[in-house]
Amino acid sequence: MTNNTGNVLLALVTGAAIGAGIGILYAPDEGKKTRKKIKTKVNDAKHDLTERLTHAKDELTKTVDEKKEHFEHKLEEAVSNMSYKADDIIATLERKLEDLKKKNAALQK
């Protein structure tokens, strides 16, 4: 989940909580009932926000784990390919060295 998505989610929840609070304040109830409704709405919003943040954290953790696994796989492939290329280079250098030794031996005669 991107940072923008988290900001939008937080803005929506905050807006809903403010809207509910304003709606309750303008409702024709006595103070005790209004305070109880506000408390209930705040607790509901808090619970909802907690659930959404937990879900966002889980999704982020899942994404990070997937990206880490993908990176490790690609790194392993790169190291493996480099190892094969190093072996090829060493083999080529050894063949060239043998050719040079043969040419040097021929020149020594």
Q: Which of 6, 85, 2 is nearest to 53 (CA)?
A: 6
Full-model pTM: 0.47
Q: Which of 49, 60, 55, 64 is nearest to 11 (CA)?
A: 49
55-66 pLDDT per residue, tens: 989 999 999 999
16-31 pLDDT per residue, tens: 878 777 776 776 667 7
The encoded tokens of residue 56 equal 């966002």
**Residue indicated by tokens 């060493």:** 90
Residue with more model confidence, 14 or 54 = 54
Q: Write out the DSSP string of 36-95.
A: HHHHHHHHHHHHHHHHHHHHHHHHHHHHHHHHHHHHHHHHHHHHHHHHHHHHHHHHHHHH
Range(s) of the domain holding residue 94: 3-108
pLDDT value, residue 61: 92
pLDDT value, residue 10: 78
Q: For the chain, how many structural domains are there in total?
A: 1
pLDDT value, residue 66: 93
